[in-house]
Amino acid sequence: MESHAFETQGHEDTGAKTKKERLVARDIGFGFSRVSWCGNDKFLIYGYTRGLNLLDLATRKWTIISTDGAKKYPLNCTRDGKWVLYVDRKSWRIDRGRIEPPEGELEGEAMWQGYVVDLYRYEVATGKVEKFATRRDRPESADVVSPDGAKAFLGGRHDTPFEMPEPKWEVRWLDSEWTHLKPTWLADSSGIVTMVYDEMSNASLGVEIFGENGWSRVFIPGRDLGIKGRPGNPIAIKNKTFFLRSVESYSELKMGRLMGRNRYYFYTCDIKQGGLDCKEILEFDLKFTDISYAVLPDGDIVYRESDDWCIRRFSQSRAKTECIVDGADLGWFYGLSPDGSRIVYRRSGKKENKGASSDLYIMEIN
């Protein structure tokens, strides 16, 4: 079903902060929102009050996938932009054969692991909606389809039988009860890189490679990687190379007060026979803040600090950092298109007689 989901759509040249910046959607909503690329020419835009919408940049058409933002939560899209994946929270239930423990005796780090939830896929070309999997419900984002579109990695095996409809994706389940965060496929679809946290919140780097004999799992504790800080958020860039960010928090005394700070480190890690070879390439020392970042195919890092009015690009080859988008109205940086040619981010604006808005922009960077 196609619809104009937002107040104003279209490609508008702002002519302000940068010549290549374009406004693509007004008023995507304040508070929690999520924007994901579906291929190089589509956006999956989600807001709690607005629901789930798909924007085609080439045709400027909007498609409403669901208006129920409280129950239909986006997972991601396939790399070719053909399928949108989401979880239906209304399907949440106790897994078959499991008995909920008495209150106060819940297992696991944060919640009991005995619930399941249904996953759905929306076919963009036809509008067809179908359930494609059921998985254990857990506090994670662990449902991703490989770049070649043939495999799916899901967040937890369950006891409820289900036959995936055609086209079937080869499924790899996370068998562990541990929390599994932000997995990413290697560029050649040969495996998964992810962060795993056990019940004591100890972080390990999980690398799983699919070979002739199936999946071989390797969990590598952060302390054994030879890196500094607490590892997190791996991003794959080449067939057997990925980026890894780590952070360590500390306090310093300024004007008689303890001020919290974060020190961020960025590494490139090559997967080799018998282990990993990680090399530090960048370090940030910031106020107690966070960084949103993505990596270009050539290895440059595009990032934004949460208290900086600038999106910056760090070039490894030139060892140089430059501001590519700025402004006091600059909001969250949502990431890169799969081909690395454009970035998407938010700015705050003004709606006529209606106060402020939160608007979505893209910019070409290559």
In the chain, the N- to C-terminal Cα span, in Å, equals: 34
Tokens matching residue 195: 């962060």
Whole-Å CA distances, 79 to 141, 186, 338: 17, 13, 8
Instruction: Specify whether the CB–CB gap between 3 and 62 falls below 8 A.
Output: yes
Write the burial class of residue 204 (CB in 10 Å: 0-12 exposed, 13-18 middle, 19+ buried): buried
Instruction: Specify whether the CB–CB gap between 72 and 85 falls below 8 A.
Output: no
Asked if the model's pLDDT at residue 227 lies above 70, the reply is yes
pLDDT value at position 323? 93
Instruction: Specify whether the CB–CB gap between 136 and 156 falls below 8 A.
Output: yes
Give every CB contact of residue 352 below 8 A, 6+ residues apart in sequence. Answer: none
Q: How confident is the model at residue 24 (pLDDT cuts 50, 70, 90)?
A: confident
pLDDT value at position 200? 66
Question: How does pLDDT run across 44-103, given as a tens digit for each residue?
Answer: 888 777 788 899 888 888 888 888 877 887 888 888 888 998 888 888 888 888 887 776
**Calpha distance 127→57 (Å, rounded):** 18
Asked if the model's pLDDT at residue 7 lies above 50, the reply is no
Q: How confident is the model at residue 122 (pLDDT cuts 50, 70, 90)?
A: very high
Q: How confident is the model at residue 138 (pLDDT cuts 50, 70, 90)?
A: low
Question: How does pLDDT run across 159-217, given as a tens digit for each residue?
Answer: 777 888 998 887 776 555 555 667 788 888 888 887 776 666 666 777 777 665 555 55
**17-21, 129-133, 251-255, 266-270: lowest mean pLDDT where?**
17-21
Count the Cβ atoms, other than its own, within 10 Å of residue 327. Answer: 16
Q: How confident is the model at residue 4 (pLDDT cuts 50, 70, 90)?
A: very low
222 SS3 class? helix
227 SS3 class? coil
| Average pLDDT along the chain | 77
Instruction: Specify whether the CB–CB gap between 306 and 289 falls below 8 A.
Output: yes
Cis peptide before 167 (omega within 30 of 0): yes
**Calpha distance 84→75 (Å, rounded):** 8
Which residue has tokens 């819940």? 106
pLDDT value at position 155? 66
Tokens matching residue 246: 């780590």
Q: How confident is the model at residue 121 (pLDDT cuts 50, 70, 90)?
A: very high
Q: Which residue in 40, 38, 45, 59 sits closest to 6, CA to CA?
A: 45
pLDDT value at position 216? 54
Instruction: Specify whether the CB–CB gap between 164 and 133 falls below 8 A.
Output: yes
